[in-house]
Amino acid sequence: MKTMLLPLLLVASAFAAEAPRPNIVFMLADDLGRADCGFMGGKDIQTPHLDKLAKAGAILDQFYVQPVCSPTRAALMTGRYPMRHGLQVGVVRPWALYGLPLEERTLPQALKESGYETAIVGKWHLGTFQPGYLPLQRGFDHQYGHYNGAIDYFTHIRDGGFDWHRDDKENHDEGYSTHLLAKESVRLIRERDAKKPLFLYVPFNAVHAPHQVPDEYLKPYGHFKGNRQKYAGMLAAMDEAVGQIAAAIDEAGMRKNTLFIFSSDNGGPNPGQITDNGPLRAGKGTLYEGGTRVVAFATWDGVIKPESKVTAALHMVDWFPTLLKLAGASLEQKLPLDGRDAWPAITEGAASPNEFILYNTTPGNGAIRVGDWKLVMGGNVADSEDGSAEAAPKKKKSKKKQEGGGPQIELFNLATDPNEKNNLAASNPEKATELRAKLAELTAQAVPPKSAPKAADFKTPRVWGQAD
């Protein structure tokens, strides 16, 4: 009996090793409130397509990103914390004379090396000032959409500059940006090279300001006021786009071998007014949970358990090594990774692979999580996409000091206080000292933040991404 079993096991093992690599559809929302989708308990806005896709997989309940847009994208593209790129402060604005450093190996580059067809449909936000920084030079076979944040959804203009491109060339397709991104994603799925696995990265500009949406999406939300109504319509339009992308995957017969990932790039801004982050403290631009612990799920039929919840603490940097491992791509590279393989946590209920999670470290503030303990230093300092600070509710903005000088020190136990209401720094000085030492160690490794000239220093109008 044993002699018969051994060959069978060998055949099964060989079959598993030769299993096809997954198609990867990574959808990234912009400024989405953690509690605004139905699958996260939201009841105010209808998100049936996101709910259906999330139900078929696992909600990532403790998934972390950076406080604002560009740093989160840099973390995904490299598997490295943004303080290693000099992108830890603010965002890469249209007139910035820098971007994601060219020495960084990007996720699409690594997947392309491994035989994937790669496409970005949506917002790049990692530099445009030289051609080498544009998506087609960073590993993407196809590019469609916009380079910068806060574009007009209808005219595709930002600060007087036109920002809509196909394959890094100016494009004048007319229409609402969310609709255009859905249409292009569906086209790429249908016209893909069927001999290759597909990596489709869809970073929507929805639901980021300016709050704009066709009138038909406003009608179901007439009970809301102002920008909350527009935001609800924008989310409904994005949900519709997600449904179209999922339907295209089904129609192409790709569903059984496609990994869907969905996340927001940071917490919702103006929580309680425009977005809903649930009970989590504060929102976009802050180091508190409301700014960094976001809505997220992963779905792969037959591989990820449906209707499951992952409670392990994971970070955006973890997707880089996780996806490369699933793709059979090499993890060997010159620059060391911060991310860890999250697959056992997602599929087997394993503990977090992370010794720590670095929320951020800048010259003005920083935060780190080790186990269930979280340290925040100077937590009220923030820099959001529009340049405004978003502090914790009813707290003064900017550099709050503690007695005796220095930045405010806050210590929380997230296991018992996930909403960060009780500062335990005074009652647990040893734990505070321990986390401060770890944060200081990482701060010492950070490169200086890159600086950007002011908008007034740049001549407009222009086509963003077009070399001067």
Question: Which CATH number goes with the domain that contains 395?
Answer: 3.30.1120.10
Same domain, 222 and 291: yes
Predicted pLDDT of residue 407: 75
Which helix (H) or strand (E) is 200 found in, with range?
strand 198-203
The rounded distance, in Å, linking the Cα atoms of 108 and 199 is: 8
* Residue 11 pLDDT: 34
Q: Phi and psi for 308 in degrees, rounded to 5? A: -105, 165
pLDDT of amino acid 20:
76
How far apart are the C-alpha atoms of 92 and 437, rounded to whole Å?
30
Residue 298 resides in a domain: yes
6 in any annotated domain: no
Indicate whether 198 and 315 sit together in one domain: yes
- My answer on whether 296 and 163 are in the same domain is yes
Catalytic residue among 125, 146, 156, 315: 125
> Looking at the domain assignment, is residue 107 inside a domain?
yes
- For residue 37, indicate whether it is catalytic: no
Separation CA 240–CA 217 (nearest Å): 11
Q: How many domains does the chain have?
A: 2
Q: Render 276-302 in DSSP notation, one character per residue.
A: --TTSS--TTSSSHHHHEE-EEEE-TT
- Does 278 map to a domain? yes
**Pair (226, 287) in one structural domain:** yes
Q: What is the pLDDT of residue 436?
A: 98
Residue 367 and residue 425 in one domain: yes
* pLDDT, tens digit, 9 for 90 and up, residues 315-344: 999 999 999 999 999 999 999 999 999 999
Structure confidence at residue 379 (pLDDT)? 82
User: Same domain for 259 and 384?
Assistant: no
- Predicted local distance difference test score (pLDDT) of residue 361: 96
Pick the catalytic residue from 49, 69, 146, 208. 69
CB 203 within 8 A of CB 73: yes
Query: Cβ(204)–Cβ(28) under 8 Å?
Result: yes
- Decide if 163 is inside a domain: yes
User: Is residue 56 in a domain?
Assistant: yes
| pTM metric for this prediction | 0.91
Q: Which residues of the chain have pLDDT under 70?
A: 1-19, 380-406, 451-468
Give helix 226-251 / helix 48-55 axis angle, nearest 10°: 50
Same-domain pairing of 268 and 403: no
Structural domain range at position 390: 357-443
**Which pLDDT score is estimated for 7?**
39
Give the domain CATH number at 310: 3.40.720.10
